[in-house]
Amino acid sequence: MAIVPLSEAVRELVRDGDVVALEGFTHLIPHAAGHEIVRQRKRDLTLVRMTPDVVYDQLIGMGCARKLVFSWGGNPGVGSLHRLRDAVEHGWPAPLELEEHSHAGMAAAYAAGAAHLPFGVLRGYRGGDLPARTRVARIACPFTGEELAAVPAHRPDVGIVHAQQADRRGNVQLWGIVGVQKEAVLASARSIVTVEEIVDELEPRPGGVVLPAWVVDAVCLAPGGAHPSYAHGFYERDNDFYLAWDAISRDRDRFRAWMQRHVLDTADVAEYHASLAAEAAAV
């Protein structure tokens, strides 16, 4: 593990064509890392994520993705992801292959990946049209004969998550809603963790999940790096942004202009926040 700038981590650990999982279930979504992937114009990524919300809408709209592996692709509490829809419905800016799962299937696939098993087992994918459209197999219990579903394990090339803290040795702690982040990191061949702050010593927290330094490849300081998602104990969810995103993302030109101004024309998460603040002040 090394504590490095985010730009360096993305440059060295994310390669064109990689299978990349940015995780964070509503909470601690690694937006700063997503922006850096956009800035470095990574291409042909297979993006894995249970809930590809705004972070993947941006990556898809900017043409970074070839395929999406997901279970729920909406703007939470708001509605559609217009860039995701445009890619699927109209192939803009590029066609997007879909591999669609249920939440339970995605969670089992990550857990299997973390456990270094080739598949996860669940009582799911029974009936309906989803099983025919995704990667799932039936498997019989060798003791009872019951038929269950098997999903292939997620083993991303790179897992990326955001956390509240790391210590100087690179041990990471996150708390609050911890989602599937531990599994995403442990299932991945390489991993990047962006953090709100680097402290001398981690203080154990109720509900804290600790990732030891030796399972993480790069720790990057990125305060505010979850915005518009939130970091429990640091800042709240920017609900207004999610609502505003609906209008920004609805129009291709407006989306591109927004990404140019706030992501491509900024160097890092600090400039991104300054850019948003400047825009807000100008209104």
Partner 1 sequence: MSRDGGYTADEMMAVEAARRLRDGAVCFVGIGLPSLAANLARRTHAPGCVLVYESGTIGAKPSMLPLSIGDGELAETADAVVSVPEMFAYWLQGGRIDVGFLGAAQIDRHGNLNSTVIGPYEAPAVRLPGGGGAPEIALGVRDVFVMLRHSPRAFVSRLDFTTSLGDNVRVVVTDLGLLEPVDGELTLVAVHPGVSVEQVRAATGWDLRIACDLRETEPPTQAELEALRALRTKGAR
For its own copies, the binding residues (CB under 8 A) are: 116-119, 121-123, 135, 137-139, 141-144, 146, 148, 150, 152, 204-208
Name the burial class of residue 186, with classes exposed (0-12), middle (13-18) and buried (19+) by CB atoms within 10 angstroms of its CB: middle
Rounded CA separation 55/229 (Å): 9
Q: How far is the CB of 109 from partner 1 (least distance, A)?
A: 9
Rounded CA separation 56/15 (Å): 17
Nearer to its own copies, 90 or 138 (CB): 138
Rounded CA separation 83/47 (Å): 14
Q: What is the DSSP secondary-structure string of 151-202?
A: EEPP--SEEEEEEEEEETT--EEE-SS-TTHHHHHHHSSEEEEEEEEEESSP
Residue 171 interacting entry, from partner 1, its own copies, none, C-beta within 5 to 8 Å by type: partner 1
Closest C-alpha to 119, from 131, 133, 101, 105: 105
Q: How far is the CB of 236 from partner 1 (least distance, A)?
A: 6
Residue 177 interacting entry, from partner 1, its own copies, none, C-beta within 5 to 8 Å by type: partner 1
Q: What does the block give as tokens for 181?
A: 């982040």
Residue 144 interacting entry, from partner 1, its own copies, none, C-beta within 5 to 8 Å by type: its own copies
Site membership for partner 1, residue 264 (CB under 8 A): no
Q: How far is the CB of 24 from partner 1 (least distance, A)?
A: 9
Q: How many residues contact partner 1, by CB under 8 A?
A: 65
Site membership for partner 1, residue 84 (CB under 8 A): yes
Rounded CA separation 76/68 (Å): 18
Site membership for partner 1, residue 123 (CB under 8 A): yes
| Residues between 177 and 196 that touch partner 1 (CB under 8 A) | 177-180, 182-183, 186
Site membership for partner 1, residue 141 (CB under 8 A): no
Rounded CA separation 64/84 (Å): 12
> To which H or E segment does residue 14 belong?
none
Residue 137 interacting entry, from partner 1, its own copies, none, C-beta within 5 to 8 Å by type: its own copies
Nearer to its own copies, 65 or 107 (CB): 107
The answer to whether 149 and 123 have CB atoms below 8 angstroms apart is: yes
Rounded CA separation 216/193 (Å): 7
Which positions lie near partner 1, rule CB under 8 A? 25-27, 50-51, 70-74, 76-77, 80-81, 84-85, 88-89, 100-104, 107-108, 110-111, 114-117, 122-130, 133, 171, 176-180, 182-183, 186, 202, 207, 209-212, 214-215, 230, 232, 236-237, 239, 242-243
